[in-house]
A and B are shown apart, each in its own frame.
Chain A
């Protein structure tokens, strides 16, 4: 593997009284889709939140392209785009205004703002509704707005946290295609999901976490190993770790 774009090292995190992460370590590289798998409550979302600096680690460290999340959180945020299942948008702004707002806050300069916003609108095929207020958009269209605002500043690291859980089949497929396309562009794509079928198809490497600990880590086919599919491997590993 080349130098890691994201390096998580013995990460620990307690939320209120619940110790959610108990020494998680993994690395994700540019040009790959890295799967972060685990059952509900395993600590996937908390891990992603620490990586993107929304939460601070209690112990261990996280580096994004050489920047430590504790020492240089703003530098990390400049290099990360996050798409979650909760694609909240500003309802009284148009789709375009939503995207432009996040582009400006992410440091896209005035001179290239329109060009970058237009480019992302075209890339995600949003031209037909770009000037509509977000309150009138469908769920799939809002999800596109959420993706657009996460990538408009062209971050090298993209994180998807259960991105298809609220979407229909068609919209889910577009998200998956987008992840593959981003990988092709050399991005480091971290994909958190409990839909193992998606993970098996898309991910180059995976880490399975359970109760805040890593129970498996490696190339997808290596983790699947002797089992029929990733789901069987997952169930076996989680059961053994419980």
Chain B
């Protein structure tokens, strides 16, 4: 067996006996379903919760029925404005001239109640106007001179699902590719110095580049496993958990074969790059804790590009943007998930960029791993 294979096998054996790495992978598998379950519970509760409307004055006929049907409970109060600050979710004063509404925008319950009230009032106004027009013999459709028939080219529910996936999936892929193998990477680099095994290892005839490749391969496999396990558990959870109290099927999960292939390919590239980076940082560190401190900024560096799709959902970049590592992976995955198509040019540029990043990280790790200062500092 080659030196690379010998080191790889030993590292995998040690990693699988390390509780920290196993716990990290288990958390990767369990964390996403847990978070999604909590989100579903909150969204279901929000959708089905009844909010209280404190009111004074006379309610127009029929409006009370609409309030009740929309999850708004009416409660008569002396001063709706004062009550809206704490006692009720929203305050309404019905006057012959119209309605005065009072709500506190800093309260989420008030915001939701306000949306429901506005929706009800808009429907009520439209119904009243239509009834008045009909009484006067006028066709109510005159109010809508350009009726619009909407023909979605794909399921709006599915589109919403894809939009959700296009953020969450790259986010999990990137963060898990980094964190899933971090403990193993630091253990195999900083840990060698901390345990004082580094010198003995470097005394063997095995070329240092082979030793390093074996270590990077082992950490990459762990990172990849953690990332793919986390994504698989997320997809299973999404297919089982219901959001917003909707009846029927759960969240529509539709990861096309193309998106799945692109995802795995990017996961391999990211895992290899992150493994090289974290092993390089670990090689600089004297011990595991110092390695963790060195690796902390990586979280921010990786999370920021992953979040860009959330903040700029319609971000439509030129090909040059695909040169930026990590951001390019997010963009390619978004295209694959939302549009079920990836431009070859963007995939090639992204792959080249990530391969170059991996090569640079490997070179840096090798330089660090072979310099004399590594041993002098030990």
Contacts and interface: CB of A to CB of B under 8 A. Distances in A.
Interface of A: 15-16, 49, 52-56, 74-75, 77-78, 80, 82, 84, 86-93, 97, 101-102, 104-107, 110, 146, 149-150
A146 B200 contact: yes
Interface string B30-62: 000000000000000000000000000000000
Interface residues of B, number: 27
- Interface of chain B, helix or strand or loop or mixed? helix
B1 A104 contact: yes
Interface string B284-302: 0000000000000000000
Nearest to B14: A92
Given A55-B375, A101-B10, A92 B18 contact: yes
A97 B16 CA distance: 15
A2 B238 CA distance: 77
B372 A74 contact: no
A75 B205 CA distance: 7
Contacts of A149: 200
A56 B18 contact: no
A7 to B, nearest CB: 20
A74 B205 CA distance: 5
Which residue, B198, B201, B204, has most C-beta atoms of chain A within 10 A? B204
A128 to B, nearest CB: 22
Nearest to B372: A55
B3 interface: yes
Contacts of A56: 372
A70 to B, nearest CB: 13
A55 B199 CA distance: 11
Contact of A52 (B13, B14, B198, B203): B203
Q: Which 7 A-B pairs have the closest CB atoms?
A: A88-B196, A105-B204, A92-B17, A88-B197, A77-B205, A86-B196, A105-B206
B376 A16 contact: yes
B202 interface: yes
Given A101-B6, A110-B1, A91 B195 contact: yes
B207 interface: yes
Contacts of B201: 105
A106 to B, nearest CB: 5
A93 B14 contact: yes
Contact of A90 (B197, B202, B203): B197
B272 to A, nearest CB: 23
A101 to B, nearest CB: 5
